[in-house]
Amino acid sequence: MAALIFLLACTGRLAAQTPATIWPSTAIPTTPDVGSDSPVELGVRFYSDTPGYITGIRFYKSAANTGTHIGNLWSSGGALLASATFTAETTSGWQQVNFSSPVAITANTAYVASYHTTIGHYAGDASYFAAAGVNRSPLHTYANTSATPEGPYTYGSTSQFPVSTYNSANYWVDVVFAGSSGSGGSGGGTSLKVGTTSLPNATQSVAYSQTLVASGGTSPYSWSVSSGTLPTGLSLSSSGSVSGTPTVAGAFSFTVAVKDAASASASASLSINVVTAAPPTVSISNPASGATLSGTTTVSGVASDG
């Protein structure tokens, strides 16, 4: 017992936790694209058996559901608890955005997760919640009744609390839940750390792309630049991709930070050296004295705005 108490005091927890979701990532809607529609907020009403944290929002995307998507978490009464804009989306399938800070939720209390789409083409399966909700402990949804309206939506050009329902439909909105006492499951039990220790040089006016690596903690991870400056023309996505086309030569030092789904964080100091492109080269044959030269002159190099 003394050894266990000592372990808890040193680590703060026995193991990292694996986030829970209402649907597994293998779940696919029967109707992934309902067709074009007006801007609309689509949601799901849910609760958890245990207290914990909502760290992000997920939704299933059809290839035609383009444009900006905003994920929101609400109280059952319509108070906005957190909001975030989806970035680095794939063409289709499950999309996820993480909140800047996890939101604590109370056990056995209803909340609403939603996202806003401007173009329609959202997933929608009619009668999904007509008879029963989804039960994937610790998360649950409701059967659609007057007391527990499930599959809420509201039309509008901007995000707003969804209040209407139609045909007990499921719009395939989900949450990412991390339990406060292990209810989210057990993870690898290792500390979060940045695995990338260095980045290769970049060349001015040449496209550049590298992906940062983290290990331990509880995935998914969210990346940001906490200090310093990336080379002009490069940016860091929340998924850890450093990409773009550098426009200014020089050495750039910065610190990257990574946060996991349980709000653990780690950082590392990195640098990128942007070198100038090699000067153009001209090659011609060496003619004999007095000979007339004819042929093609080839010039190769990299264009630069500088």
Query: Over the stretch 235-269, which tens digit does the pLDDT of each residue have?
Result: 999 999 999 999 999 999 999 999 887 778 888 99
More confident residue, 214 or 95: 95
**Is 193 a residue whose pLDDT tops 90?**
no
More confident residue, 7 or 267: 267
Report the amino acid identity of residue 127.
Answer: S
DSSP 261: T
Query: So what's the pLDDT on residue 293?
Result: 60
Query: So what's the pLDDT on residue 252?
Result: 96
DSSP 157: S
More confident residue, 8 or 258: 258
**Range 260-289 average pLDDT:** 79
Query: So what's the pLDDT on residue 10?
Result: 36
Provide the CATH topology of domain 193-275.
Answer: Immunoglobulin-like (2.60.40)
Q: Where in the chain is the domain with CATH 2.60.40.10?
A: 193-275
Query: So what's the pLDDT on residue 288?
Result: 65
Report the amino acid identity of residue 170.
Answer: N
The CATH class of the 15-179 domain is mainly beta
Ranges 68-72, 190-194, 199-203: which has the least confidence: 190-194
The Cα 277–Cα 101 span in angstroms is 42
The Cα 152–Cα 74 span in angstroms is 12
Q: Where in the chain is the domain with CATH 2.60.120.820?
A: 15-179
pLDDT band, residue 93 (cuts 50/70/90): very high
Query: Over the stretch 121-151, which tens digit does the pLDDT of each residue have?
Result: 999 999 999 999 999 999 999 999 999 999 9
Query: So what's the pLDDT on residue 1?
Result: 39
Return the residue matching tokens 């056995």: 108
Contacts of 39 (CB under 8 A, 6+ apart): 116, 117, 118, 119, 155, 156, 157, 158
pLDDT band, residue 292 (cuts 50/70/90): low
Query: So what's the pLDDT on residue 231?
Result: 96
Query: So what's the pLDDT on residue 221?
Result: 87
Query: So what's the pLDDT on residue 289?
Result: 67
Task: Pick the closest to residue 253 from 279, 215, 280, 226 (CA basis).
Answer: 226
Give me the DSSP letters along 169-186: -B--EEEEEEESSSTT--
Give the number of other Cβ atoms within 10 Å of residue 260's Cβ: 24
Percent of the chain with pLDDT over 90: 69
**Is 115 a residue whose pLDDT tops 90?**
yes
Average pLDDT of the chain to the nearest whole number: 86
CA of 290: how far to CAs of 282, 286, 287, 293, 295, in Å? 22, 12, 8, 9, 16
Torsion of CA 291, 296, 299, 305, to 10 degrees: 120
Q: Would strands 70-75 and 193-194 be described as parallel, antiparallel, or unpaired? A: unpaired
Query: So what's the pLDDT on residue 285?
Result: 62
Please say whether the beta carbons of 166 and 153 come within 8 A: yes
pLDDT band, residue 299 (cuts 50/70/90): low
**Is 86 a residue whose pLDDT tops 60?**
yes
**Range 202-217 average pLDDT:** 90
